[in-house]
Amino acid sequence: AQKVTQAQTEISVVEKEDVTLDCVYETRDTTYYLFWYKQPPSGELVFLIRRNSFDEQNEISGRYSWNFQKSTSSFNFTITASQVVDSAVYFCALSERNKAAGNKLTFGGGTRVLVKP
């Protein structure tokens, strides 16, 4: 069975500070996909980033960056120079590379980020 753990339940920072969200996963699959989603106070789920298990290149997209390390089963996410609008709950998720699995996602418990002005 797959499992995603987000050990940080809540992080509070002051605007312009960097925020790193931790995500550790468990899976027996050799090929899988990892995601980060954002849930702002309005409640909708917003897709942020996606990573294949066979591509460990770390990237930066604007103020977002991610660090995928297959050896430690971690997929951490960083917001650089945080802004008040970044206040939200962030979810890490995992899916199998298996058509029969229907792209079903296993979510972590979420990390609430509060950015204070």
Partner 1 sequence: NAGVTQTPKFQVLKTGQSMTLQCAQDMNHEYMSWYRQDPGMGLRLIHYSVGAGITDQGEVPNGYNVSRSTTEDFPLRLLSAAPSQTSVYFCASSPREGTEAFFGQGTRLTVV
107 sits near partner 1 (criterion: CB under 8 A): yes
Which range of residues in 1-9, 12-20, 58-66, 67-75 is near partner 1 by CB under 8 A?
A: 1-9
Closest separation in Å from C-beta 76 to partner 1:
17
Say how many Å lie between the first and final Cα of the chain, rounded.
41
Is the distance from CB of 5 to CB of 108 less than 8 angstroms? yes
Q: Choose, by CB under 8 A, the member of 14, 28, 44, 62 that binds partner 1.
A: 44
For residues 49 and 100, what is the distance between their CA atoms, to the nearest angstrom? 23
Which range of residues in 17-25, 46-54, 62-70, 76-84 is near partner 1 by CB under 8 A?
A: 46-54
